[in-house]
């Protein structure tokens, strides 16, 4: 990278605005890689809940002001590295070429007058009161938690017989994206034979329920990220009850594999960009892939007898293990008494269905499709129009657990089992319906 002196170029507000216009949901990860504490990145989005571009500008402005004393060259180098970390090499190269850089007054190092004034000091107040000391007295009406200095207001409970809250219905059920990787050119032995049936069957039942479905087959890792980014940023979800994303592929470690056998990170590249986007409707994920290399040979219950023989299933796919970023904010003491009711947890309003338990293999048949997707289709077809998504996924888990696959071990046929897993972050019941 060519040296850039502070007398030649700078990251002006206009520069940041142009860069923000090119960025999308990766901006949250960009803030972390730029060295901002996660809590400050989250607050930028909380301050601009319906304007992602303003949130991105806020993030980069805070970073620029924090690092201004390092000089333009160091700032640009850090920005380029951060963009590469979030897989936006295209933007990194443009920054290196000077596309997003403004100029300064000749030789003085003083920046030209910027057209926007969004600078904030590190000591800026946050939109909820922060106690000065960890041992500050809790406000009236709050209860102490096991964590010193954090006081959580008791939530007013609804009447015991009140029905559970439900998410509002949109004008349409929603949009769905299906990514199904079947052929792996560099590893032909890993081809997922016959898995076209899974995406075709799932697309059919989702269309029956009212979804507008986009199906993508055999995407490499870069194409997978682009497809997800396009689905989030260019599709109009404002009239949807929910959105749904299903990824069917191999897995390796914490990644879903592209057809180039390069990983797409589950949390950073799939879940987080969608869950933490500006899209307001609930998000549904159906992940057909293994989460490890172990087969589940089951366990016998004391009240169960050995089942008879059933149709043979083949097993395959390979691993996905989720790793979540840990953020240490031990100095943050929050008094939630005055927080507005409209403030919701960042990661709420989503539900994730995994094909199998962590560390296990997912089962699929080379002709009949995978155990998970085929049971999703079966349950959605029978109950999708009247039951909420959590209940539907409970039915799916029950059906998956009742499936038997068979594998030859040292000349003997052994039964192999599978347990699907659901992670629920929904606050209300979600029905796959729309306004009538």
Domain regions of the chain by residue span: 13-96, 172-299+307-322+346-424
Compute the distance between CA of residue 266 and CA of residue 102 in angstroms, rounded to an integer.
36
Tokens of 6: 């502070």
pLDDT surpassing 90 at residue 70: no
**For 4-13, 110-119, 404-413, which range has the lowest pLDDT when averaged over its residues?**
110-119
| pLDDT band with cut points at 50, 70 and 90 for residue 325 | very low
pLDDT surpassing 50 at residue 318: no
- 368: burial class by Cβ within 10 Å (0-12, 13-18, 19+)? middle
Give 124 or 140, the one with higher predicted confidence: 140
Q: What is the mean pLDDT of residues 58-79?
A: 86
| pLDDT tens digits, 162-197 | 888 999 999 999 999 999 999 999 888 889 988 899
The Cα-based distances of 211 to 133, 178, 306, 425 in angstroms read 51, 12, 41, 22
Contacting residues for 8 by C-beta, under 8 A, at least 6 apart = 72, 103, 104
Compute the distance between CA of residue 104 and CA of residue 16 in angstroms, rounded to an integer.
15
Verdict on whether the full-model pTM lies above 0.85: no
- In this prediction, residue 135 carries a pLDDT of 44
What is the pLDDT of the chain when averaged over all its residues?
77
| pLDDT tens digits, 329-362 | 344 444 444 444 557 787 789 999 999 888 888 8
How many residues would you count in the chain?
436
- In this prediction, residue 384 carries a pLDDT of 96
The Cα-based distances of 180 to 79, 273, 289, 373 in angstroms read 34, 19, 10, 11
| pLDDT tens digits, 240-286 | 999 999 999 998 767 899 999 999 999 999 999 999 998 999 999 99
- In this prediction, residue 48 carries a pLDDT of 76
Q: Does domain 13-96 have CATH number 3.30.70.2190?
A: no
| pLDDT band with cut points at 50, 70 and 90 for residue 234 | confident
| pLDDT tens digits, 408-423 | 777 888 888 899 999 9
Four-way CATH pick for 172-299+307-322+346-424: 3.40.50.1460, 3.40.50.2300, 3.40.640.10, 3.40.50.720: 3.40.50.1460
- In this prediction, residue 431 carries a pLDDT of 97
pLDDT surpassing 90 at residue 237: yes
- In this prediction, residue 430 carries a pLDDT of 97
Give 148 or 41, the one with higher predicted confidence: 41
- In this prediction, residue 159 carries a pLDDT of 57
- In this prediction, residue 172 carries a pLDDT of 96
- In this prediction, residue 72 carries a pLDDT of 82
Asked whether the domain spanning 172-299+307-322+346-424 has the same topology as the one spanning 13-96, the reply is no
């Amino acid at each position: 990278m060519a040296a850039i002196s502070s007398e030649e170029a700078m990251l002006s507000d206009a520069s940041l605005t142009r860069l923000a216009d090119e960025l999308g949901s990766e901006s949250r990860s960009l803030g972390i890689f730029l060295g901002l504490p996660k809590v400050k990145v989250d607050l930028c989005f909380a301050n601009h809940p319906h304007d992602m571009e303003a949130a991105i500008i806020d993030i980069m402005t805070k970073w620029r002001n924090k690092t201004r004393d390092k000089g333009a060259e160091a700032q640009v180098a850090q920005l380029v590295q951060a963009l590469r970390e979030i897989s936006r090499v295209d933007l990194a190269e443009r920054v290196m070429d000077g596309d997003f850089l403004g100029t300064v007054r000749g030789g003085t190092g003083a920046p030209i007058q910027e057209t926007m004034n969004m600078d904030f000091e590190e000591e800026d107040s946050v939109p909820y009161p922060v106690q000065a000391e960890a041992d500050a007295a809790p406000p009236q009406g709050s209860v102490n938690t096991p964590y010193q200095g954090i006081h959580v207001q008791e939530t007013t409970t609804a009447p015991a017989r009140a029905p559970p809250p439900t998410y509002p219905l949109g004008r349409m059920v929603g949009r769905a994206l299906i990514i199904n990787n079947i052929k792996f050119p560099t590893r032909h032995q890993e081809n997922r034979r016959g898995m076209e049936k899974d995406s075709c069957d799932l697309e059919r039942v989702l269309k029956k329920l009212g979804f507008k479905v986009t199906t993508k087959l055999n995407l490499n890792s870069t194409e997978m990220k682009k497809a997800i980014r396009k689905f989030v940023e260019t599709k109009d979800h404002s009239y949807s009850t929910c959105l749904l994303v299903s990824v069917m592929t191999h897995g390796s470690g914490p990644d879903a594999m592209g057809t180039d056998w390069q990983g797409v990170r589950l949390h950073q590249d799939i879940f987080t960009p969608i869950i933490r986007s500006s899209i307001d409707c609930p998000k549904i994920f159906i992940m057909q892939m293994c989460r490890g290399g172990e087969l589940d040979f089951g366990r016998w219950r004391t009240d169960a007898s050995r089942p008879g023989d059933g149709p043979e299933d083949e097993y395959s796919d390979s691993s996905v293990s989720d790793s979540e970023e840990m953020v240490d904010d031990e100095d943050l003491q929050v008094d939630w008494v005055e927080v507005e009711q409209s403030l919701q947890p960042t990661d709420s309003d989503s539900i994730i269905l995994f094909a199998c338990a962590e560390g296990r293999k997912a089962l699929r048949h080379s002709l009949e499709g995978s155990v998970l997707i085929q049971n999703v289709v079966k349950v959605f077809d029978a109950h999708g129009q009247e039951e909420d998504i959590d209940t539907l996924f409970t039915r799916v888990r029950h059906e998956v657990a009742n499936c038997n696959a068979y594998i030859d071990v040292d000349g003997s046929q052994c039964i192999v089992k599978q347990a699907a897993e659901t992670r629920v972050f929904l606050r209300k019941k979600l029905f796959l319906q729309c306004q009538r």
